[in-house]
Amino acid sequence: MDKLPALRLANPRIPIYSVRDPEFRRYGRVIEEDTAAFCAAAETLPFPEEGSRYVAAVPELDSLPEAQALRERYCGQLDEQIGLCWGHSNRLNALEWHTCSEFNIAVRELVLLLAKREDLDDDGRLDARKVQAFYLARGEMIEVYADTLHFCPCEVTKDGFSCIVGLQRGTNLPLDGSKEKSPCLWATNKWLLGHEDNAPLIARGAFPGIYGENWEIHPVG
């Protein structure tokens, strides 16, 4: 059941769009594929009771025939790792970007908070008022463009969110500590801005690059 109308009522202060609305076009595109095999495989994995978890390459997803088909159709013959981000989250908290597109499939419905690199101030910081929210129903698949800032999805219900993440293999893995890095580089092919109110992330060394309201999505149901 589409919970977008109820979600909008529960969150009157932030407009929430569907990824099928025109507003999404600057951030990515909807891909019309049968995602049932991905969703079924992802739902077999233990679900976090609290917090969220990310695994860059999940064997149960990475080895699916559908994963190979995704690589051949959309990845320009590059190797694509198929991982999962799942659990509980409802705040903006941070935003990241990569030098490649990211492919997402909503295993459980979710909200993505997005901005563009062109929205950054001259000093590399971002006003949270430039962030927009987008709803994905279960099974919907999107491509998120490389210049789109994104992060951990927000849950639509208290059952949590689950999002398949396809990225160029090696992305999001630990950095080589012997090499010099830019202030925002957080993992391989991953640049990160922390919200200045997210004290635990800033304490871990994240650049406090987002200012303004740390948007919260209130779940329904």
Predicted pLDDT of residue 1:
52
In a domain, 8, yes or no: no
Summarised one tens digit per residue, pLDDT across range 28-86 is: 999 999 999 999 999 999 999 999 999 999 999 999 999 999 999 999 989 999 999 99
Question: Is 21 contained in some domain?
Answer: yes
Q: Where are the beta strands (DSSP E) in 76-198?
A: 80-87, 94-97, 102-108, 110-116, 126-127, 132-136, 141-144, 148-149, 154-155, 161-168, 185-187, 190-195
Q: Are 220 and 108 in contact (CB under 8 A)?
A: no
CATH at residue 31: 2.60.120.620
The answer to whether residue 80 sits within a structural domain is yes
Q: Is 1 exposed, middle or buried (0-12, 13-18, 19+ CB in 10 A)?
A: exposed
- Domain assignment present for residue 193? The answer is no
Residues 53, 88: Cα–Cα separation, whole Å:
9
Contact call for residues 191 and 95 (beta carbons, < 8 A)? no
Number of domains in the chain: 1
CA-to-CA dists, residue 98 to 57, 78, 147, 192, 217, angstroms: 16, 15, 7, 9, 24
Q: Is residue 221 included in any domain, yes or no?
A: no
Helix (H) or strand (E) holding 32: none
pLDDT at 24: 98
User: Is 195 part of any domain?
Assistant: no
The domain of 22 spans 16-169
Ranges of residues in the chain whose predicted pLDDT is under 70: 1
For residues 168 and 57, the answer to whether their CB atoms sit within 8 Å is no
